[in-house]
């Protein structure tokens, strides 16, 4: 309990402050304590208390110094910190400033843990990826899930052009608690998987594809118009969003 809060409660106890006024002052005190001002960023220090996971750093557009500063401050208030969309060049500079940082090159993500990553719930999430070119998005989802405490089974390079590869891994996919499906081109893999399993699917369209792919719009529309039930779709290349949502679903399944 900080000194200001003690003083407020003391005034309530001696009758010099009304309880309603004390309530407003305490709320303001909590609001100030929940935000860290760095000049270039206002950090939400209480996000894990509200949502179960700390604020995540979006690295694109930030300097290495800003990423390092944000991660350092967040690590003072949380056991785990995740930064996404970080280039290898920026990651090297951040790692030089912050001991213990790990760079996941394919995912383009940085993680910082005070304690080892633990699998905190039963079962696993399957991350299913159509092609090797989709791996950065798939790995972004997988790393996010692992940061959230989920075990991940990676099922990669099983696109519909060689659908026998998918069938060879179908038992692994069906046994998952939640499934993330990542695909570019026409994005048909999500519909195929949706017709074969009884688990929730988070579909991720990627910007991988030739000209008429329209930077992922064709895969996005295919997934949104899927005739297979149980398929929910996130934005183009949003591996983090799919991983985060899958992690939330997995945590609630595990609680039950």
Handedness of CA 231, 233, 237, 240 (dihedral sign): negative
71: helix, strand or coil: helix
Shared domain check, 191 and 178: yes
130: containing domain: 121-254
Domain boundary (113, 138, 165) is at 113
Same domain, 83 and 140: no
**Predicted model pTM:** 0.83
Among 84, 91, 80, which Cα is nearest to 147's? 80
Indicate if 202 and 139 belong to the same structural domain: yes
Within a 10 A sphere around the Cβ of 227, how many other Cβ atoms?
8
Residue 242 and residue 129 share a domain: yes
- pLDDT number for residue 25: 65
Beta strand 35-37 with 42-44: parallel, antiparallel or unpaired? antiparallel
pLDDT tens, position by position, for the chain (256 residues)?
Answer: 466 677 767 777 777 777 776 667 666 666 556 777 777 887 888 787 888 888 889 999 999 999 999 999 888 888 889 999 999 999 999 999 888 899 999 999 999 998 776 666 788 999 999 999 999 999 999 999 999 989 999 999 999 989 999 999 999 999 999 999 999 998 999 999 999 999 999 999 999 999 888 999 999 999 999 989 889 999 999 999 999 999 999 988 877 6
Instruction: Please give the helix or strand (H or E) that residue 138 lies within, else none.
Output: helix 135-147
Residue where one domain finishes, among candidates 113, 136, 170:
113
Residue written as token pair 């270039």: 40
pLDDT value of residue 60: 92
Residues 51 and 132 in one domain: no
Long-range pairs for 33-41: beta carbons < 8 A, 24 or more residues apart: 33/2, 36/73, 36/77, 38/69, 38/70, 38/73, 40/66, 40/69, 41/66, 41/69, 41/70
Rounded Cα distance, 67 and 60, in Å: 10
202 and 245 part of one domain: yes
Please check whether residues 100 and 84 belong to one and the same domain. Answer: yes
The answer to whether residues 96 and 215 belong to one domain is no
Domain count, the chain: 3
Beta strand pairing call for 231-233 and 201-205: parallel
Residues 125 and 234 in one domain: yes
Per-residue pLDDT, 40: 82
Are 81 and 162 members of one domain?
no
218 with 141, same domain? Answer: yes
pLDDT for 21 equals 63
Last residue of a domain, one of 86, 113, 140: 113
* Pair 230, 130 in one domain: yes
């Amino acid at each position: 309990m900080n000194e200001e809060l003690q003083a407020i409660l003391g005034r309530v106890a001696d009758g010099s402050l009304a309880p309603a006024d004390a309530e407003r002052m305490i709320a303001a005190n909590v609001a100030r304590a929940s935000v860290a001002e760095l000049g270039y960023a206002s950090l939400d220090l209480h996000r894990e208390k509200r949502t179960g996971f700390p604020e995540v750093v979006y690295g694109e557009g930030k300097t290495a110094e800003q990423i390092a500063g944000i991660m350092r401050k967040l690590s003072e208030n949380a056991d785990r910190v995740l930064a996404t969309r970080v280039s290898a060049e920026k990651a090297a500079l951040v790692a030089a400033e912050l001991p213990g940082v790990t760079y996941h090159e394919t995912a383009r993500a940085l993680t910082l843990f005070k304690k080892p990553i633990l699998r905190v719930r039963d079962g696993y999430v399957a991350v299913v990826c159509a092609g090797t070119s989709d791996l950065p998005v798939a790995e972004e989802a997988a790393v996010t899930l692992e940061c959230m405490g989920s075990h991940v089974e990676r099922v990669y390079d099983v696109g519909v052009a060689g659908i026998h590869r998918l069938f060879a891994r179908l038992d692994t996919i069906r046994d998952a608690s939640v499934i993330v499906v990542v695909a570019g081109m026409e994005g048909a893999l999500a519909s195929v998987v949706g017709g074969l399993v009884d688990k929730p699917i988070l579909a991720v369209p990627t910007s991988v594809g030739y000209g008429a792919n329209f930077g992922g719009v064709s895969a996005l529309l295919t997934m949104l118009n899927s005739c297979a039930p149980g398929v929910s779709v996130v934005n183009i290349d949003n591996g983090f969003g799919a991983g985060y949502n899958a992690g939330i679903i997995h945590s609630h399944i595990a609680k039950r």
